[in-house]
Structure 1
Amino acid sequence: PIEQRLMEADVDDPFQDEYSAASESALGHFSRALPPLDSDAHAWFAFLKAYGESSDPPLVLRQLGLLEVDLMNLNALWARQLPALEPAQRSQALGAPAALPNIHVETMGYPPVGDPIGPLRQLQVAPPEEPEAAAVVPVFAPLPSGEDED
Structure 2
Amino acid sequence: MSSAVLHASSPTPWTAVMAAACLYCAYEVWRFDTVRSWVLVAVMNVAMIAVHLPLAGHRHGNAAAGEASMGTAMQLATGVAATEIVFAAIVLYRLSLPGARTVQNRCASAACAPRRSDDQRRRAAGPPAAATARPHP
Q: Which has the higher contact order (CA 8 A, sep 6+)?
A: 1
TM-score range, shorter chain: under 0.3
TM-score under structure 2 length normalisation: 0.24
TM-score (norm 1): 0.23
